[in-house]
């Protein structure tokens, strides 16, 4: 049977959503940012809420997110996306507002804004891409960098004594009463992509029902920063990141899940 | 019994040759071309098209969203 | 003597380190040098270029609009920098991936197919050294000895076993470069 | 009937914002301006007009909340005092770069550092020359009365939206804390149907996406953006200069002063004229754009200028630039929260300008 | 034997700090200056000299770590680029107010806002007029070569401690990212036995407590403190002006430019002189104190001045103030990360100054 | 027996430590800040470590702490005391370094600095005076202000919906591995003053032994801000603050205490 | 008419609100008014003062060095403001707690022992109204009707039942004020 | 049996009249004066000195640290 017979509009199974623009993603080959972008846009597409959605891009590799997500967006200052989102949401309580932030952005310079938006229970969704490094600026140590991990500012490996502990900000904010849903996911295999998409769906649903803040962490690779090929980096991530940042729901319906 | 058969189309100019799709395909359909596109990247392609089930795993996981997937029932 | 050079190509081609070796070589023979790269995230998968100046005198501007020599390693760079060679200047390029070959008549144009050669030698890492060799054939602004000293300086000690391969590549570049009429 | 109230400057700017149809206020307490938010909270503007008031966790958060809300086309305001305004500099530069309208209120106190909570005008440079990074300008209005605190909220929004740029209401503890009679204008409706051509309110099928950003990694486009900003600033400079003069018609000497110092100079003029000294006042109302041409013209008619400012001498630079150093011009000021008395100001005129060589 | 290296500007200022006996560096990554901290981390200065290097959680944290360490008498440095420097403004004002010595490095990029990561000089106002609140000044050194990046670390500490005041090394992405030959001076020992008369190192029975603060709620004392600061700044202005001239002896026209623009102007002079245009360069090395008298003197000998700055025109104000508007002086610059070429600069001189009325 | 016979040097039982200056405290009558200052100075006095101690004052009512504590001190910018202390401690690892901070200072504007100093496990001591209000600036709402509590910026009572939840920052930072000892105390009765002093002793001891960060919260009154007499405020505090901010150790020897 | 007044005393004496009522009263009779307080935390337990100006014309400086009238309610304020009364001006003080009584000869000095009187009336809250009454006796710059209107304006509605007591206090102040020779 | 007897000395000028000591004293020793100090504050004093045990509770809890405590054994 000829392939041409299969490739027909009526047989279409999967195609990039038109909520993504046609621009070439500025990400390195194999970087999880692209996948995360796409499934987020799929959710907005499938929920049919583009006209009611305002996204907030961070400063990080995804600083140009608005070049790729074909929705209304604002570029926030480094770390301040939750404050920007608060400003938007308070004026437009019926719109969907999300932030998309890296680990440096959310867990270093933006710590106060993150904690307080969560504590106020702003009815927004935070997407948190944790790749354990500052990708954008060339691979410096992030608050989430693992012990012993080499980065350009921890060239001999992160030393807990002098550089502090990799922070589990997600577990931390889960303790705040204003936070309704907290989960940690990944996008490096089809299975996890599907799960993460479901989590994002859930987060937007919570926002729709005005139940408070939802927080979706995506543990992701930064093959450039980690100095690996994409597939190597995904394996390394499973072996090293997931044990420290275990995947799964952390808080559901306002209640922390205790394993 | 109706068997399902699939096919993928890779946007060759936009493929970045990351090979994430290669390991994601459950039936090892995908290989990488020797030639490169204008950005200098090798390109994903169906090396064994007959094994494609149209499961879309490759497309779902492709960071650049450059894979389109088709699927049809093939009468046995 | 002042030699003003632009080296331009893809991010992964070793453009910046080639410039660095050149600059180091200049220092080895007591010249003034400057090296100014394009920088930042737009380099990611994009183009990279570096301006290198070697001079017997204090160097004024480290960035320039026109150059004595342009070393061009992809089509985008060709589009951008062919016009930037001073009349009477030198343009060296690798033909790999070049669709619009340079056409100026008022400059000297040389071709060094370093990519093909490196592939032939089975070592893509020495690509930029082959190019450098070609350049030095045309403009021996620095002595090979000093280049080797410069290389040594700019390479971390653990890579010093690669020095002979690099030297060979330079010599090979000097052999394969050809002038285009 | 006119609605008249006795209000603090801080309260007046808050009421002015409500009546001008402000959509939101985000702020953080700091003396001597905490009454702005306190007044708003007490007034429940959410019930009066639907206006949102939120106490942020910091000034950094405030300015970025402003950014977000302004980016959706809303009329937003924050207020703070010197150290808090310093913390906002990154955000202010972002808002200027992204061309977002808003009102910032700086009720200046003595610095540098934590300094004192008493009135000062030593943030002139910060506001007019650029406290943040990059080439941008703030329209800076300097009220000299509680009435103007009220009025400039409305004027501020008008200018901010006309030019899509942040407007600073630059005042100080004296104007903020003092009470005067204020004639209140009527409540303007909040604008819910507005020009959303640039605002991020959700992409609809009939238009392309809207993006609010100050980033462009492509330098030549970034330069074009800067040229666009500079053109806009030139337009503001051409059209929005505001100033006022007192007793300047027959004046041989001129005080140049803004805000609270202008008030003090008025008294000094009374005292001076009682002594036979013909002195007048030139009062810039817009600190940027500075009334360059207008001051130059005024200066041409007098023998000397005393620039009075509660600082070590900041505005004096603009006085010199405006007058092209063609006239004797000196600075007089007090620092660290000290307020000069009218007597001192007059004496300084006599010593530095009239008596001086 | 002289130790010679090929280094980036960013690396040179880091190595310069180590060799000048710096005690600590606190910083946060940002392009185009991240190599400063990266270099320091790689060099393990803790092993070389005992110097502490810590990556802070933000620029706000960095500047306040600097404050703490400097308050104990230590030699401390941070570096950042425009948006990060804006975030430090409160802290900088505090350090100036509390009279704490330190080195700040601003590797300027295009703004406003997030802007671009390419070189710019548009933070001149911020650094020289006061980005933070209150009356304070930073000593601002503008290196024009990688060698000076190295040298000014040492000079910076010297000035910072001589006057107990923060010193800004104001540079840009061009100087920070380029490599040149650097002659390294010898390692100076870290000073462990230092003047602790003012530093907070623990109160011993033989002295009263030491306090580091910028607060004084008593306005008259706060004013005295401000007068003290102003006197100090005057002393700096009297003694620490630095500048350099090129080809100015027979010049009919003058470029005034600092840092990377000065380098570009030098090439423009080569091109100009080749065409018979007698043009020279006046290069301020200290942006504050600005070489007022020196520029005035130099200007007296020429027909016109072109101030070249990668901005919309900031330094031009100081050029006008220095020359008392007595000479034709125009600004030429590019913005948003665009670097002018020597050819453009020369053309601008021909059009705006030589050809202009 | 005559009182004069008792009041003799040899009968002295208690006297303000000379580590406090003789200046009149700038605090309102009955404010807990004064007591907290004094016992802190007693600890430093009794440990004999004044020559090795550097304190960091915040911006808040205790902004002038250095006028009263007769030790070397630095006045930090609002919220930044933990960063200032980090700067000091990194340069002087053998000195005792403490911060003294209010709830606005530590839990609002200073959130990021607090979290990250804790996360790095800086070997310092943080004293945290939680009076549920911004005392210094005239009684505005603090992050720790209780639900329904009236302040000048919550004149109709704190509304959780729009103003967020009173934050338990102390419990939050206890989750961070760099933090060694966390306790919550009070100073309104002699019994609690003695306990709190013991806690401060313990904190300094931990610092001496370089075990990481110690964090002593003191729930205190702000009778001016609360608009009560001092004794009323202390009763109100017991009835309202303690139930939400329960006293006692939260983390000891690096382990969280579970009741 | 322009009347420039300083009122100075302890924080708890109602200095600021007395000034506010005066200012409101001025507004009620269409005058221009300004009111500028000392402010900030140093007020905590310390002194408080407020400058009030009533005028038929636009008011220039809201802060002054010399005043037509000084109303002084504690010793610190006496030390600070006795000298600030314009020659020919008026100084009113409450004798309670004053150790150094005013001694200037070129001004009119009046004493109103409002603290004692308020204690006698068993209502310390009306202390400042008694002082105000004394002042208005000496300088009827505003009419009593307008004062009562001003009071009404400046008091929240829930306190309006206190108006009669306040009026009485003002009248009482007018009675007990006495001129010192 | 030797009974313990105590006494306190209040720094009158620095007492702020907050009355925290009053409720802290286990034997109700402390009262407040009618007169005020120069700051206008009533002053804590021993109303029933004979009950003072010198336990120092008042001093420990006095926010302004203005109480000094003495104690001696009194032969029964
Ligand atoms: C105020 C400020 N400080 C620093 C920077 C530089 N900067 C840009 S992105 C970034 C970190 C990015 O890391 P992360 O948030 O983890 O995102 P990633 O790139 O890894 O996705 C930094 C430090 C900036 N733009 N602004
Ligand atoms: C940057 C900055 N913002 C705001 C202020 C004003 N301010 C001073 S103290 C303070 C809050 C004090 O409250 P808290 O920390 O709880 O201390 P308390 O007075 O209650 O002891 C504020 C907001 C400031 N000084 N600096
Ligand atoms: S640097 Fe890292 S995070 Fe950024 S695009 Fe590349 S792989 Fe992704
Ligand atoms: S995953 Fe996508 S980009 Fe990567 S190789 Fe496959 S098709 Fe190309
Ligand atoms: S659709 Fe499924 S089977 Fe076909 S190539 Fe993709 S992953 Fe393989
Ligand atoms: S305002 Fe509150 S915290 Fe401040 S001194 Fe007074 S009682 Fe204490
Ligand atoms: S020492 Fe004890 S018994 Fe004596 S007054 Fe004080 S609290 Fe009371
Ligand atoms: S606790 Fe202290 S200040 Fe308060 S009344 Fe007693 S002695 Fe006076
Ligand atoms: Mg990251
Ligand atoms: Mg508090």
C-alpha atoms less than 13 angstroms from C-alpha of E322 in its C-beta half-sphere: 25
Fold of H2-75: Alpha-Beta Plaits (3.30.70)
Q: What is the CA radius of gyration of chain F?
A: 18
Q: Sign (positive/negative) of CA torsion C163, C167, C170, C176? A: negative
pLDDT of residue G153: 84
pLDDT in tens, A110-146: 999 999 999 999 999 999 999 999 999 999 999 999 9
Fold of F30-256: Rossmann fold (3.40.50)
- How much is the average pLDDT of B46-58? 97
pLDDT in tens, E98-111: 999 999 999 999 99
The answer to whether the CB of E178 falls within 8 A of the CB of E184 is: no
- Identify the weakest region by mean pLDDT among C93-97, E69-73, H45-49: C93-97
The SS3 of residue F101 is: strand
CATH of D245-354, one of 3.40.50.920, 3.60.70.12, 3.10.20.30, 3.90.226.10: 3.40.50.920
Query: Cα separation of D263 and D283, whole Å?
Result: 9
Q: What mean pLDDT, rounded, does chain A reach?
A: 97
Q: Check residues G12 and F252 and name the one with the higher pLDDT.
A: F252
- How much is the average pLDDT of C130-146? 96
**Nearest CB partner across the interface for G36, out of D6, D178, D270:** D178
Residue A214 neighbours by CB under 8 Å, 6+ apart? A124, A125, A126, A179, A180, A181, A182, A202, A203, A204, A206, A207
Pairs of residues, one from chain C and one from chain D, whose beta carbons lie less than 8 Å apart: 4
Q: Give, in order, the Cα–Cα distances in Å from E188 to each of B5, E37, E44, H56.
A: 74, 20, 16, 56
- How much is the average pLDDT of F225-237? 97
Structure tokens at A257: 């899940």
Q: Per-residue b/e over D31-50, b at no fewer than 16 CB within 10 Å? A: bbbbbbbbbbbebebeeebe
> In the beta sheet, which residues pair with residue H4?
H73
Query: Cα separation of C37 and F243, whole Å?
Result: 62
Neighbour count for residue G36 (Cβ, 10 Å): 28
Q: Is it the case that residue D249 has pLDDT exceeding 50?
A: yes
pLDDT of residue G39: 83
- How much is the average pLDDT of F232-254? 98
Burial (Cβ within 10 Å: 0-12, 13-18, ≥19) of residue G167: middle
> Tokens 């920098």 appear where?
C81
- Report domain extents, chain D: 3-201+227-239, 245-354
Q: Give one word for G4, left, alpha or beta, with left for phi > 0 and alpha for psi -120 to 50.
A: beta
**Nearest CB partner across the interface for A29, out of B18, B65, B70:** B18
pLDDT in tens, G54-80: 999 999 999 999 999 999 999 989 999
Neighbour count for residue G11 (Cβ, 10 Å): 16
Assess whether the C-beta atom of F65 lies below 6 angstroms from ligand 2.
Answer: no
> In the beta sheet, which residues pair with residue B5?
B72
The answer to whether the CB of E297 falls within 8 A of the CB of E291 is: no
A19 lies within 8 A of chain D by CB: no
> In the beta sheet, which residues pair with residue D184?
D3
Structure tokens at D355: 């008596």
G10 lies within 8 A of chain H by CB: yes
Percent of chain F with pLDDT over 90: 98
Q: What mean pLDDT, rounded, does chain E reach?
A: 96
Percent of chain G with pLDDT over 70: 96
Ligand 5 centroid distance, CA of B37 (Å): 22
Q: Is it the case that residue C42 has pLDDT exceeding 60?
A: no
Pairs of residues, one from chain D and one from chain G, whose beta carbons lie less than 8 Å apart: 71
Q: Which of A94, A89, A28 is closest to A61 using CA atoms?
A: A28
* Chain E residues close to C55, C-beta within 8 Å: none
* Chain H nearest CA to F14, separation (Å): 5
Query: Cα separation of G110 and B8, whole Å?
Result: 101
In chain C, whose CA is at the least distance from the CA of D219?
C42
CATH of E3-201+227-239, one of 3.40.50.970, 3.40.640.10, 3.40.50.300, 3.40.50.11900: 3.40.50.970
Neighbour count for residue C140 (Cβ, 10 Å): 10
Q: Within chain G, what is the greatest distance between any pair of CA atoms?
A: 45
Q: Which of G127, G65, G139 is closest to G97 using CA atoms?
A: G127
Query: Cα separation of E316 and E308, whole Å?
Result: 8
Q: Does an H or E element contain F142, and which?
A: none
Q: What mean pLDDT, rounded, does chain D reach?
A: 96
Cα D199 to chain centroid, rounded: 25
The answer to whether the CB of A182 falls within 8 A of the CB of A215 is: yes
Q: Which of A229, A118, A231, A111 is closest to A164 using CA atoms?
A: A111
- In this structure, what DSSP letter does residue E219 have? H
The answer to whether the CB of F26 falls within 8 A of the CB of H30 is: no
Structure tokens at C144: 């090979």
Query: Cα separation of F223 and F237, whole Å?
Result: 10
A11 lies within 8 A of chain B by CB: yes
Put simply, the answer to whether D67 touches A76 (Cβ < 8 Å) is yes
Pairing state between β E286-288 and E253-256: unpaired
Q: Within chain A, what is the greatest distance between any pair of CA atoms?
A: 64
Range of the structural domain that residue G137 is part of: 2-180
DSSP collapsed to 3 states, chain A: CCHHHHCCHHHEEECCCCCECCCCCCCCCCCHHHHHHHHHHHHHHHHCCHHHEEEEECCCHHHHHHHHECCEEEECCCCCHHHHHHHHHHHCCCCEEEEEEEHHHHHHHCHHHHHHHHHHCCCCEEEEEECCEECCCCCEECCCCCCCCCECCECCCCCHHHHCCCCCHHHHHHCCCCEEEEEEEECCCHHHHHHHHHHHHHHHHHHHCCCCEEEEEEECCCHHHHCCCHHHHHHHHHHHHHHHCCCEEEEECCEECCC
Residue G154: pLDDT band with limits 50, 70, 90:
confident
Query: Cα separation of G77 and G88, whole Å?
Result: 20
A88 lies within 8 A of chain D by CB: yes
| Distance in angstroms between the alpha carbons of the first and the last residue of chain D | 55
* Chain C nearest CA to D218, separation (Å): 9
Helix G127-138 to helix G144-154 angle, to the nearest 10 degrees? 150
Q: Sign (positive/negative) of CA torsion F40, F41, F47, F52? A: positive
Query: Cα separation of F235 and F32, whole Å?
Result: 13
Among E181, E308, E339, the strongest candidate for a mutation testing the C interface, having the largest count of C CBs within 10 A, is E181
The answer to whether the CB of B19 falls within 8 A of the CB of A30 is: yes
Query: Cα separation of C156 and A125, whole Å?
Result: 47
- Report domain extents, chain A: 30-256
pLDDT of residue G43: 47
Q: Is it the case that residue C43 has pLDDT exceeding 50?
A: no
pLDDT in tens, D158-195: 999 999 999 999 999 999 999 999 999 999 999 877 66
What's the CATH code of the domain at G30?
3.40.920.10
Q: Is it the case that residue C62 has pLDDT exceeding 80?
A: yes
Query: Cα separation of D259 and D121, whole Å?
Result: 9
pLDDT of residue G44: 58
- Identify the weakest region by mean pLDDT among A226-235, D153-162, E193-202: E193-202
Helix E292-299 to helix E315-322 angle, to the nearest 10 degrees? 70
Pairing state between β D102-108 and D76-80: parallel
Q: Give how many domains chain G has, as a whole number.
A: 1
* Chain H residues close to F31, C-beta within 8 Å: 63
Which of 215-234 (E) contact D at CB < 8 A? Answer: 215-227, 229-230
The interface predicted TM-score of the complex, written ipTM, equals 0.97
Query: Cα separation of D140 and D166, whole Å?
Result: 9
- In this structure, what DSSP letter does residue E29 have? -
* Chain E residues close to D217, C-beta within 8 Å: 116-117
Query: Cα separation of F107 and F131, whole Å?
Result: 12
* Chain G residues close to E218, C-beta within 8 Å: 42
* Chain A nearest CA to C171, separation (Å): 31
The answer to whether the CB of E259 falls within 8 A of the CB of E171 is: yes
Answer whether 0.90 is exceeded by the pTM.
yes
Pairing state between β G67-72 and G2-10: parallel
Query: Cα separation of A217 and A101, whole Å?
Result: 9
Put simply, the answer to whether F63 touches E67 (Cβ < 8 Å) is no
The torsion angles phi and psi of C95, rounded to 5 degrees, stand at: -70, -15
């Amino acid at each position: 049977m000829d392939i041409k017979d299969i490739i027909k509009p009526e047989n279409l199974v999967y195609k990039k959503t038109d909520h993504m623009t046609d621009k070439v993603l500025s990400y390195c080959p194999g970087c999880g940012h692209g996948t995360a972008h796409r499934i987020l846009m799929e959710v907005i597409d499938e929920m049919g809420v583009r006209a009611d959605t305002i996204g907030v891009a961070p400063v990080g590799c995804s600083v140009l997110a608005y070049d790729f997500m074909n929705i209304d967006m604002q570029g926030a200052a480094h770390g301040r996306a939750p404050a920007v989102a608060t400003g938007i949401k308070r004026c437009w309580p019926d719109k969907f507002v999300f932030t998309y932030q890296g680990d440096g952005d959310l867990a270093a310079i933006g710590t106060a804004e993150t904690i307080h938006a969560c504590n106020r229970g702003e009815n927004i969704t935070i997407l948190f891409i944790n790749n354990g490094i500052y990708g954008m600026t060339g691979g410096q140590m992030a608050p989430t960098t693992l012990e012993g991990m080499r980065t350009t500012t921890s060239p001999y490996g992160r030393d807990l004594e002098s550089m502090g502990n990799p922070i589990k900000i997600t577990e931390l904010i889960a303790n705040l009463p204003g936070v309704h849903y907290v989960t940690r996911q990944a996008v490096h295999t089809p299975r996890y992509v599907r799960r993460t998409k479901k989590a994002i769906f859930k987060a937007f649903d919570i926002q729709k029902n005005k139940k408070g803040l939802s927080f979706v962490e995506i543990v992701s690779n930064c093959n450039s920063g980690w100095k690996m090929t994409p597939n190597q980096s995904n394996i390394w991530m499973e072996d090293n990141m997931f044990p420290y940042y275990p995947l799964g729901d952390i808080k559901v319906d306002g209640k922390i899940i205790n394993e | 019994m109706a068997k399902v058969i699939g096919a993928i189309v890779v946007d060759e100019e936009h493929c970045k040759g990351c090979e994430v799709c290669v390991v994601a395909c459950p039936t090892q359909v995908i290989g990488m071309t020797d030639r490169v596109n204008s950005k200098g990247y090798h390109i994903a392609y169906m090396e064994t098209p007959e094994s494609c089930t149209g499961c879309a795993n490759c497309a779902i996981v492709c960071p650049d969203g450059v894979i389109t997937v088709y699927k049809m029932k093939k009468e046995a | 003597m002042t030699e003003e050079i632009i080296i331009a190509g893809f991010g992964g081609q070793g453009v910046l380190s080639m410039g660095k070796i050149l600059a180091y070589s200049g220092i080895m023979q007591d010249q003034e040098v400057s090296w100014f790269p394009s920088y930042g995230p737009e380099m990611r998968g994009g183009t990279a270029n570096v301006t290198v100046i070697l001079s017997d005198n204090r160097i004024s501007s480290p960035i320039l609009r026109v150059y004595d020599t342009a070393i061009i390693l992809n089509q985008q760079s060709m589009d951008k920098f062919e016009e930037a060679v001073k009349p009477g200047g030198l343009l060296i390029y690798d033909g790999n991936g070049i669709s619009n070959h340079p056409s100026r008549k008022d400059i000297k144009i040389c071709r060094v197919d370093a990519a093909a050669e490196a592939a032939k030698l089975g070592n893509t890492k020495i690509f930029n050294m082959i190019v450098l060799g070609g350049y030095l054939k045309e403009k021996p602004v620095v002595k090979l000895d000093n280049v080797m000293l410069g290389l040594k300086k700019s390479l971390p000690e653990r890579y010093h076993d690669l020095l002979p391969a690099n030297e060979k590549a330079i010599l090979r570049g000097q052999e394969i470069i050809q002038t285009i009429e | 009937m006119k609605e008249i109230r006795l209000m603090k400057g801080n309260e007046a700017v808050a009421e002015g914002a409500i009546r001008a149809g402000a959509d939101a206020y985000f702020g953080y307490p700091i003396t001597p301006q905490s009454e702005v938010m306190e007044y708003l909270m007490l007034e429940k503007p959410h019930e009066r007009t639907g206006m949102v008031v939120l106490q942020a966790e910091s000034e950094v958060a405030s300015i970025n909340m402003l950014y977000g809300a302004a980016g959706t086309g809303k009329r937003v305001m924050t207020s703070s005092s010197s150290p808090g305004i310093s913390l906002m500099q990154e955000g202010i530069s972002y808002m200027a770069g992204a061309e977002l309208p808003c009102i910032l209120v700086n009720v200046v106190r003595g610095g540098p550092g934590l300094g004192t909570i008493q009135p000062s005008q030593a943030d002139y440079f910060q506001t007019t020359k650029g406290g943040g990074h990059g080439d941008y300008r703030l329209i800076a209005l300097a009220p000299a009365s509680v009435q103007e605190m009220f009025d400039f909220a409305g004027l501020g929004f008008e200018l901010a939206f006309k030019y899509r740029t942040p407007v600073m209401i630059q005042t100080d503890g004296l104007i903020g804390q003092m009470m005067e009679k204020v004639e209140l204008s009527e409540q303007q409706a909040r604008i819910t149907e507005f020009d959303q051509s640039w605002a991020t309110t959700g992409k609809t099928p009939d238009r392309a996406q809207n993006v609010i950003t100050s980033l462009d990694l492509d330098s030549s486009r970034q330069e074009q953006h800067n040229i666009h900003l500079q053109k806009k600033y030139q337009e503001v400079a051409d059209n929005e200069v505001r100033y006022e003069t007192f007793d300047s018609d027959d004046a041989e000497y001129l005080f140049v002063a803004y805000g609270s110092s202008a008030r003090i100079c008025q008294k000094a003029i009374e005292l001076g004229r009682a002594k036979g000294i013909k002195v007048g006042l030139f009062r810039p109302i817009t600190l940027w754009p500075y009334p360059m041409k207008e001051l130059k013209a005024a200066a041409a008619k007098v023998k000397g200028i005393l620039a009075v400012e509660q600082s070590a001498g900041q505005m004096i630079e603009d006085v010199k630039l405006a007058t092209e150093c063609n006239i004797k011009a000196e600075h007089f000021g007090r620092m660290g929260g000290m307020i000069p008395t009218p007597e001192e100001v007059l004496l300084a005129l006599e010593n530095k300008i009239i008596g001086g060589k």
